[in-house]
Structure formats: structure tokens, C-alpha cells
Amino acid sequence: MGGISRIGELEHLARHGADLLLTYPWKLWFWGDSIGLEGLLDTAARTGDARYSGFVHGLLTGGA
């Protein structure tokens, strides 16, 4: 049971961090932006939530 609970905690933490990144004032390309964008993509892959990958796509194509 502990493993399932820890996975849920990790997903919750990843979503929380990604939600904070959605409000970050991006400056493309500023120091560390790529790390944040990778975090959003990783969270999208882990959770299946396309908001995060869609944000990255929009940001990089000028739609965000």
C-alpha cells in the first residue's frame, strides 16, 4: 500500500509544481527556462494532462 500512496504523492507534487510553472513569467531563453519546460513535459507524460505539454507547445510557437 505504501508504494501506491507515494506514487499519488509524487503525482500531486508534480502537478503542483507544474501549476506554479504555468504562472511563471517566461523570457525565452533565459537561464533555466529549459529546465522548467522539461518539467512541464515530464509532468504531462506522467499524469496524462495535456495542459502542460500544450502550454509548452504554445509558448515555443508563440501562442502562449
Q: pLDDT (tens digit, 9 = 90+) per residue, 14-57?
A: 999 999 999 998 887 777 888 999 999 999 999 999 999 999 99
pLDDT-derived band at 62 (thresholds 50, 70, 90) equals confident
C-alpha cell at 37: 519546460
Domain residue spans of the chain: 2-61
pLDDT class for 63, splitting at 50, 70, 90?
low
pLDDT at 32: 80
Confidence label for 4 from pLDDT (cuts 50, 70 and 90) = low
- What phi, psi does 21 have (nearest 5°)? -65, -30
Per-residue pLDDT at 48: 95
